[in-house]
Structure 1
Amino acid sequence: MSAKKSEPPPQDSLATPQKATFFRLGHKNHSQWTALGSASFVLISGGMSLAWGAGFAVHSAHRDQLLLTVHMQISWYATAILGALFGAFFTHRLPQQPIYIFGSCLVIASGILFLAWPECPGSIIAARYLDGLANGLIFVPAMSTVGEIAVSEMRGLLASTVEQLSSNTGILMQLIYTAVWQVDWDVVIVADQVHGVLSIVYGVIALALALTLCVESPVHLLMRSNEQRAVVSLRHLQRPYMVTSETLLRLDEHKLYVADNREMCVWLSLQKGFPALLKLLALRLLGVLCLNYILCCALYETASQLVSCFHAWTYVIFGVLRWCGCFFVVVLMDTTGRKKPTLFGTFSTGAFAIAFANLFGRTPHMITALVMLFSLQFFAGLGQCASAVYLTEAFPLGIKPHLVAAVYIMELITRLLLCSFAPSIAGITAYFHVLGSLSMVFFLLGIFCLSETRLITLAEAQLKFTKWFNKDF
């Protein structure tokens, strides 16, 4: 009888801990998000600026100048490129906290210029210069170190939240205030001032998080041979805030990661990083093709043929679906994995792009074309989510910031080129045929080339990316 009493209860009581695993992980490791919370809010501001520069600012006094004024076109992108170059140099050389503080202050200054002088083109250009510099400075260190801060079980969730979800939140906020604003409202504040207020709010929150909750990457500290501070950093990145056996295991994992990468010279690092660089360039540039001025023109032309005058509610649906596509798959990054959502999203994006190209301009089918365009944005958000995770996992440690910066700079150059001209109806149709074709090609290649990196260490993920072909799912 006593033996029966000492037996553990059957499966019911064991089900509760399993169900609570995700929430326990989130509670235990929430410090890892707050350590990068400052970067998240700066990138939300960057998402707003990307949408503004792509033409999603119907009520802005400066929207028409985007195609006429060179400074207005290049301002955000030029300083974001400059910031990325600085970020590549400073990451793993200087502490992150001063960089995050400076970037947050730049976002606040940008918001003040939007708020104080909304009608002055010079002020708007200066504000975009400042916001672009902030995003370039923050993007590279944040994406280089997010994988070093996160535990393996939450690396996908954290990386995709910090970059993709933050950027898409900024895009959504820009599209929402653009949609609800009415030029005939009898109010003192103008639309661009709303942009300024939101930027100030994001900047203030980012500054507060940078001053109080920023934690340095333990890998950065080990690279500087400061093991004691690395232990302190790991202690602050988990609950309870004390050194446990798990802390020491993570320390050993990071020490092995640093030691393996220290043995690689620059040339060997470049050789090992080159396959990952090409794959990520293809994936991230495909994402650029799904949000730019051509997409804005396509949305306007499609919606304006359905109603007598264009209504900005289409912007809201456009932005909400893009955000939802990203949001729904963020939580799957460490369970379903990275590869399956990326391939599914890319294939669906290609299918809807080709369908839209075939329907666009055919008046009886414009409502269907609009649905295709909305669906394309949902799957674009879904398919791009894992690209943020791949950025922090793919490259050898010694040159990781430089290759992250290279991918980001190529994105910015492509965005600038696509936002520099207004396409014709025929041009929009051809563009979507090209987008659909490239998406399908990437889908077929991705089946054999993309890596699945969930629930493995950074060193193991990096090893997978050195191979040209990875058939694992």
Structure 2
Amino acid sequence: MSAKKCEPPPQDPIATPQKATFLRLGHKNHSQWNALGSASFILISGGMSLAWGAGFAVHSAHREQLLLTVHMQIAWYITAILGALFGAFYTHRLPQQPIYIFASCLVMASGILFLAWPECPGAIIAARYLDGLANGLVFVPALSTVGEIGVNEIRGLLASTVEQLSSNTGILMQLLYTAVWQADWNVVIVADQVHGVLSIIYGVIALALSVTLCVESPVHLLMRSNEQRAVVALRHLQRPYMVTSETLLRLDEHKQYVAAYREMCLGTSLRKGYPSVIKLLALRLLGILCLNFIICCALYETASQLVSSFHAWPYVVFGVLRFSGCFFVVVLMDTTGRKKPTLFGTFSTGAFAIAFANLFGRTPNMITALVMLFGLQFFVGVGQCASAVYLTEAFPLGIKPHLVAMVYIMELITRLLLCSFAPSIDGITNYFHVLGGLSMVFFLLGIFCLPETRLVTLAEAQIKFSKWFNKDF
């Protein structure tokens, strides 16, 4: 009896191991982010260019030309489409490292043009061509292989960080330095030169990471029947850098994934990938509808009625809330999952869009309308975060790069169509009513159609996506 009394009380078997497991996973697998770090910084520059092209460039000497000159409007999107088409061809066929190095150099060249000739329209157009090409070249291989590089336990965190968090970081940086120049600080360089300096910094970091830490996808190497190099790649994607039983288990999992692809003909792959394309296009296009020139006009019209002259703070709050929505949800991708945040964010986006449409244009309610617009951006960040994870999980291996490129190109075409549309006050109201309605429709369909793919293999995730209906949470 006394011996039993002296025994220490039983400890909670869950709390401490969970914390240790999360820290251990982060320490052990941080090399997987390093392998795609160059793509992240290139996509940050792309986020800045997207915001610049959407009209968040009131500081720029070229804003009038951006609105009136078709060449300047389409430059970034055209080369991004060409880069994506090439990416669909070379992903899983050619080594990625040379492409990442080349894209990093393009981003640096773009930044140099912005920095050296900020007043020259031709230089700005050329810079946007280069940055668009860099982002198109990198987007498809990065989103195709991020799920192959990341382990199942952090695949969601890795994919959403590489694409969504990077893009929203670029948008935030664009809005922040826009705010600085709107505040009319006494500085010696013009705002477009700041864009150039930041692009050069991103390009240099991306180049350093691509030269030193880039690791090829082990799945790509197995598709080329190079098992020895696949083992070496897996060894470099974990700590400690040695072959362990876990390394061999991951190798076996990738072998099964590649074997399933080899047994699947093109027709079967297309049939299984078709539902995924429809779902992801609907989700990703909703995100595009929430950042374009119409949204920029709505922000300007709403904020300018609250103050005598348009100040910087609406830009800052707009960018910070969009980034925060994504940042807070990224860490939930492998715990709470993908489906719940997506549905919650989409429903909230729809509710805030409809509320804004009903309040916009009513002078006594403009402060409330502005709050609704800010809230909408926060929940866009929440609802779109998992779209990057879904991109890397949804498609059959044999045609994954092609379908990722298809979704990305459709996004770019939609952005291109919206960038030159200058709406009236009534047009903005109607636009937000449509946005709210589409968001609600997607929310209802998503309950039954979107799959939950946390902690499953890529092959299992793709099987879930190939079904039209998935009621799992």
- Measured against the shorter chain, the TM-score band is over 0.9
Could you say which residue in structure 2 is the equivalent of 1:163? 163
Partners of 1:387 and 1:397 in 2: CA distance: 18
3-state SS, counterpart of residue 20 of structure 1 = helix
Could you say which residue in structure 1 is the equivalent of 2:467? 467
The one-letter amino acid paired with 2:325 is G
Partners of 2:38 and 2:176 in 1: CA distance: 23
Could you say which residue in structure 2 is the equivalent of 1:214? 214
Shift of the alpha carbon at 1:193?
0.1
User: Does 2:103 correspond to 1:103?
Assistant: yes
User: Does 2:198 correspond to 1:231?
Assistant: no
Alignment of 1:66-105 (within 5 A): 66-105=66-105
Alignment of 1:147-226 (within 5 A): 147-182=147-182, 184-226=184-226
Shift of the alpha carbon at 1:426?
0.4
Partners of 2:464 and 2:184 in 1: CA distance: 57
Q: Deviations over 1:208-242 (max 9, x none)?
A: 00000000000000000000000000000001100
8 A Cα contact 1:87 1:136, kept in partner: yes
Could you say which residue in structure 2 is the equivalent of 1:11? 11
Shift of the alpha carbon at 1:141?
0.1
Shift of the alpha carbon at 1:203?
0.3
Alignment of 1:127-146 (within 5 A): 127-146=127-146
Could you say which residue in structure 1 is the equivalent of 2:278? 278
Could you say which residue in structure 1 is the equivalent of 2:22? 22
Could you say which residue in structure 1 is the equivalent of 2:307? 307
Partners of 2:39 and 2:203 in 1: CA distance: 10
The one-letter amino acid paired with 2:350 is G
Partners of 2:244 and 2:4 in 1: CA distance: 35
8 A Cα contact 2:183 2:311, kept in partner: no
The one-letter amino acid paired with 1:148 is E
3-state SS, counterpart of residue 128 of structure 2 = helix
Alignment of 1:56-455 (within 5 A): 56-182=56-182, 184-455=184-455
Q: Structure 2 vs 1, CA of residues 63 and 183 (structure 1 numbering), >3 Å: closer, same or farther? A: farther
3-state SS, counterpart of residue 201 of structure 1 = helix
Partners of 1:36 and 1:351 in 2: CA distance: 36
Shift of the alpha carbon at 1:18?
2.3
Partners of 1:388 and 1:31 in 2: CA distance: 19
3-state SS, counterpart of residue 181 of structure 1 = helix
Partners of 1:182 and 1:352 in 2: CA distance: 27
Shift of the alpha carbon at 1:11?
2.0
The alignment's TM-score, normalised by the length of structure 2, stands at 0.98
Shift of the alpha carbon at 1:8?
9.7
Partners of 2:311 and 2:293 in 1: CA distance: 18
Shift of the alpha carbon at 1:14?
6.2
Root mean square deviation of aligned Cα:
1.6
Partners of 2:70 and 2:162 in 1: CA distance: 31
Shift of the alpha carbon at 1:183?
7.6
8 A Cα contact 1:149 1:237, kept in partner: yes
Q: Structure 2 vs 1, CA of residues 232 and 379 (structure 1 numbering), >3 Å: closer, same or farther? A: same
3-state SS, counterpart of residue 421 of structure 1 = coil
Q: Structure 2 vs 1, CA of residues 227 and 424 (structure 1 numbering), >3 Å: closer, same or farther? A: same
Partners of 1:22 and 1:145 in 2: CA distance: 23
Partners of 2:16 and 2:394 in 1: CA distance: 36
The one-letter amino acid paired with 2:78 is A
The one-letter amino acid paired with 1:250 is R
The alignment's TM-score, normalised by the length of structure 1, stands at 0.98
Q: Structure 2 vs 1, CA of residues 14 and 297 (structure 1 numbering), >3 Å: closer, same or farther? A: closer
Q: Deviations over 1:175-212 (max 9, x none)?
A: 00000114854433100000000000000000000000
Partners of 2:170 and 2:187 in 1: CA distance: 24
Partners of 1:219 and 1:427 in 2: CA distance: 48
Partners of 2:8 and 2:39 in 1: CA distance: 46
Q: Structure 2 vs 1, CA of residues 13 and 379 (structure 1 numbering), >3 Å: closer, same or farther? A: closer
Q: Which contiguous aligned blocks of 4+ residues in structure 1 show a shift greater than 6 angstroms?
A: none
3-state SS, counterpart of residue 395 of structure 1 = coil
Q: Structure 2 vs 1, CA of residues 122 and 301 (structure 1 numbering), >3 Å: closer, same or farther? A: same
8 A Cα contact 2:100 2:207, kept in partner: yes
Partners of 1:29 and 1:288 in 2: CA distance: 32
3-state SS, counterpart of residue 26 of structure 1 = helix
Partners of 2:467 and 2:427 in 1: CA distance: 38
8 A Cα contact 2:356 2:432, kept in partner: yes
Partners of 2:469 and 2:15 in 1: CA distance: 38
The one-letter amino acid paired with 1:114 is F
Q: What is the total number of aligned residue pairs between the two structures?
A: 473
- Structure 2 residues not aligned, in runs of 5+: none
3-state SS, counterpart of residue 152 of structure 1 = coil
The one-letter amino acid paired with 2:229 is R
3-state SS, counterpart of residue 112 of structure 1 = helix
Shift of the alpha carbon at 1:333?
0.2
Q: Deviations over 1:83-107 (max 9, x none)?
A: 0000000000001100100000000
8 A Cα contact 2:145 2:392, kept in partner: yes
Partners of 2:401 and 2:20 in 1: CA distance: 36
The one-letter amino acid paired with 1:98 is P
3-state SS, counterpart of residue 243 of structure 1 = coil
8 A Cα contact 1:59 1:183, kept in partner: no
Shift of the alpha carbon at 1:403?
0.2
Partners of 2:403 and 2:190 in 1: CA distance: 40
3-state SS, counterpart of residue 290 of structure 2 = coil
